[in-house]
Amino acid sequence: VTLKTDLDEDLRHHGDAEVGAGLVDLAVNVRAGAPPAWLANRLVASLGALASYPVAGPARAAVAARHGRPPGEVLLTAGAAEAFVLLARALEPQRAVVVHPQFTEPEAALRAAGHPVGRVLLSADQGFLLDPALVPEDADLVVVGNPTNPTSVLHPAASLAALARPGRTLVVDEAFADTVPGEPESLAGRRDLPGLVVVRSLTKTWGLAGLRVGYVLAAPAIVDQLAAAQPLWAVSTPALAAAEVCASPVAVATAEEYARELSAERAHLVAALTELPGVIIAGRPASSFVLVRVADGPALRAALRERGYAVRRGDTFPGLGAGWLRIAVRDRATTDAFVTTLRELL
Ligand SMILES: Cc1ncc(COP(=O)(O)O)c(C=O)c1O
């Protein structure tokens, strides 16, 4: 384990900066090019109410019911990204620790709010799997992703639960939890763990990155603290409509079906990548993207761009270097064409 406080990476770099006209997007982890028709129709129907200020109650109740919790344990946010800013603004951690490699916005938000941030770096040799003993005992705020972006590794719920204790806020970023069939390692329904904050996103699976919608699940006192830091009406009426409908049993069943399809497509991509010389997959991918190590990441990424493919650079993630690239799981035809190109370049 390494605890670092220096900043070598561009924490504010994200996959959306890597896509562009004429490029097949394997860099952004949003599932579809557009939300499904039933969801888009619901968004359109919500436009008639735009003259009124947003009312969060029905969405809050629907999300609470979806996770078997009371509405007072739910806060709708403008994407998971807003939740990280609210946490950074509302809490006053003396020793915040972020488990890396992971999505960089939680650390960026904590730093922007003036908090020092320590890092626990999980190692490729251990398959990027969380060992709770690596987290310093005196950490009073711990942030960990599950499944983790960019490693795609799914940590056991027991490892995460072992990090919870009185006097500590444990933030589990579950932005990609719904990409895992059955969500077996999710803590979203756990009400017994002290200081637990689960952050969820609706932008990935539902193709709603531009709408900005997600939510926090936590004890009422934490939810109230975060709500007090949130701007008024931060979540728009269409975003609330999306949250309400995406929490319905039919939508949850649809997400489950998507997750099962995704698992098959990911297995196909992983099998193809495993065949390639000089491509290493560290850890067991469980989400909608796969992290690989190659001999010369920057050169390969540039060559792929020349050939029409945008993959996500790995070097802006703490704990990874230039040899790492993240590849989104897409449909079989896209994957096959991509792997053919990759094989030629290698
Ligand atoms: C792990 C992780 N958490 C949260 C987010 C932010 O999601 P949202 O679009 O809901 O703000 C992302 C976006 O890339 C992510 O990768």
CA distances from 49 to 52, 54, 131 (A): 6, 9, 48
Q: What pLDDT does residue 33 have?
A: 74
Q: Is the CB of 147 under 6 A from ligand 1?
A: no
In a mutational test of the pocket of ligand 1, which residue from 171, 204, 246, 316 has the highest number of ligand atoms less than 8 Å from its CB? Answer: 204
Q: Using an 8 Å Cβ cutoff, are 15 and 27 in contact? A: yes
Q: What pLDDT does residue 7 have?
A: 60
Distance from residue 254's CA to the centre of ligand 1 (Å): 20
Listed as ranges, residues in the chain with pLDDT below 70 are 1-8, 32
Q: What pLDDT does residue 275 have?
A: 96
Residues in Cβ contact with 242 at an 8 Å cutoff, skipping those fewer than 6 apart = 35, 39, 42, 43, 202, 206, 208, 211, 213
Place of tokens 């626990």: 120
Closest atom of ligand 1 to CA, residue 213: 10
Closest atom of ligand 1 to CA, residue 201: 10
Q: What pLDDT does residue 211 have?
A: 97
Q: What pLDDT does residue 12 have?
A: 84
**Measuring from atom 3 of ligand 1, which residue has the nearest CA?**
175
Q: What pLDDT does residue 132 have?
A: 98
If one counts every other C-beta atom within 10 angstroms of the C-beta of residue 72, the result is 14
Buried b (16+ CB within 10 A) or exposed e, 236-272: bbbbbbbbbbbbeeebeebbeebbeebbebbebbbeb
Token code pair at residue 1? 């384990």
pLDDT tens across 58-110, in order? 999 999 999 999 999 999 999 999 999 999 999 999 999 999 999 999 999 99
pLDDT tens across 215-256, in order? 999 999 999 999 999 999 999 999 999 999 999 999 999 999
Distance from residue 82's CA to the centre of ligand 1 (Å): 10
Q: What pLDDT does residue 163 have?
A: 98
Residues in Cβ contact with 158 at an 8 Å cutoff, skipping those fewer than 6 apart = none
Q: Is the CB of 103 under 6 A from ligand 1?
A: yes
CA distances from 20 to 24, 168, 225, 258, 305 (A): 8, 42, 39, 26, 10
Distance from residue 231's CA to the centre of ligand 1 (Å): 20
Closest atom of ligand 1 to CA, residue 175: 3
Q: What pLDDT does residue 336 have?
A: 97
Kindly state the DSSP code that residue 218 receives in the 8-state scheme. E
Q: What pLDDT does residue 21 have?
A: 80
Q: What pLDDT does residue 256 have?
A: 97
Q: What pLDDT does residue 319 have?
A: 95
Q: What pLDDT does residue 221 have?
A: 98
Q: Is 198 helix (H, G, I), strand (E, B) or coil?
A: strand
Q: What pLDDT does residue 34 have?
A: 84
d(C-alpha 121, C-alpha 1), whole Å:
6
The β-bridge relationship of strands 324-328 and 24-26 is unpaired
Q: Is the CB of 149 under 6 A from ligand 1?
A: yes
The β-bridge relationship of strands 214-218 and 74-77 is antiparallel
Q: Is the CB of 201 under 6 A from ligand 1?
A: yes
Token code pair at residue 326? 């993240």
Could you tell me the pTM of the whole model?
0.95
